[in-house]
Amino acid sequence: MNEIAILIIAHKNQEQLELLINNLVSDFDLYIHIDTKSTINKEELISKYPNVKFYSKYNIIWSGYTQILCPLFLFREASKSKYQYYILISAQDIPLISNEAIKRRLKEEDTSYVVSDKLPLPQWKFNGGFDRVQLFWESDVVGNSLWDKLKRKVICNIKKNQRKYNLRRPLYKGVEYYGGSTWVILRYDAMEYLLNFIDKNPKYLKTFKYSYCADELWLQTILGTSDCKTKNEHITYLDWFTGPEYPRTLRIDDYDAIINSPHFFARKFDIDVDKEVVHKILERRNSTI
């Protein structure tokens, strides 16, 4: 069995997902969650890649609670096989270094990678990140039924009154809140610590319902004060500043900056926007050891 599992969250573009699978499947065990609203053909992928584990459990809503539930589900599934490392990426990521280089680097550095800094974060809006969880947000309500519209309106009014009268939801007792990147590499000890904490604190996750972008908080808060060996470093190259998308959808003009970064992966890519940059990066990484 491989010592490294790569967990991938996918929601669109089957061609790009298959490109990612083909570049990773020979050296890693892959666990892939496909959004329930996606047009990706899960049955076709199961047939083509019998050694890859595919799931389709959640309708993932950007900034909502399912962005926590989905990676946690993949963590639990993969942890049953007790890997040395668990790498969480999205299907819009591309590896920048070869599979051998990924394995070698993890073996040499022998650590988890979790960007986790104590709140409040000066670069984050909404009270340095605290209001992501202390206000009620409409993120989890996306339907267009009369009931959904009413629910959104009620939650929105609650949030307005919270701000007006400085009322906040209570934070979970006994923890300090940390924030950082969703995308992580967890060594076995960090994975065990994470799942044990959640199992021993069943009410903890519920505090993130009706929150905003708490996928950048829940795991980071648990591991931010743990004794697990961790590097506070990003595993992915991202461009949050150039636009027109935030983060930027990377294009061929970004090629030099991408390949000169020290990261394991880069994101985000979309072959419907720029296919050339994806193939050029993969050709380069597959020609090096």
Report angle CA 15, 280, 268 to the nearest 5 degrees. 60
Q: What are the two backbone dihedrals, phi and then psi, of residue 278, each rounded to the nearest 5 degrees?
A: -65, -50
pLDDT at 254 over 70: yes
Rounded distance between C-alpha atoms, residue 181 and residue 164, angstroms = 30
Rounded distance between C-alpha atoms, residue 95 and residue 109, angstroms = 18
pTM: 0.97
Averaged pLDDT, 176-193:
98
Rounded distance between C-alpha atoms, residue 205 and residue 75, angstroms = 15
Quote the radius of gyration of the chain (alpha carbons, Å): 19
Taking all residues of the chain, what is their mean pLDDT, rounded to a whole number? 97
Task: Tell me what pLDDT residue 192 has.
Answer: 98
Task: Tell me what pLDDT residue 288 has.
Answer: 80
pLDDT at 289 over 80: no
From the CB of residue 170, how many other CB atoms can be counted at a distance below 10 Å? 8
The pLDDT tens digits for 210-229 are 999 999 999 999 999 999 99
The pLDDT tens digits for 7-58 are 999 999 999 999 999 999 999 999 999 999 999 999 999 999 999 999 999 9
Any bridge partners for residue 30, and if so which? 6
The pLDDT tens digits for 100-131 are 999 999 999 999 999 999 999 999 999 999 99
Report the percent of the chain where pLDDT is more than 70: 99
Task: Tell me what pLDDT residue 6 has.
Answer: 98
pLDDT at 141 over 90: yes
Rounded distance between C-alpha atoms, residue 71 and residue 231, angstroms = 20
Q: In what order do the strands lie in the sheet with 53-55?
A: 53-55, 29-34, 4-10, 85-90, 185-187, 112-113, 230-231
CA 261, chain centre distance (Å): 20
Residue 244: asked if its preceding bond is cis (omega within 30°), the reply is yes
Pick from 257, 258, 263, 261: which is nearest to 231 by CA? 263
pLDDT at 1 over 80: no
Averaged pLDDT, 144-164:
97
At how many degrees (to 10) do helices 14-24 and 275-286 cross? 10
The burial class, CB within 10 Å (0-12 / 13-18 / 19+), for 2 is: middle
The pLDDT tens digits for 84-101 are 999 999 999 999 999 999
Residue 154 · residue 79 · CB < 8 Å: no
Task: Tell me what pLDDT residue 27 has.
Answer: 97
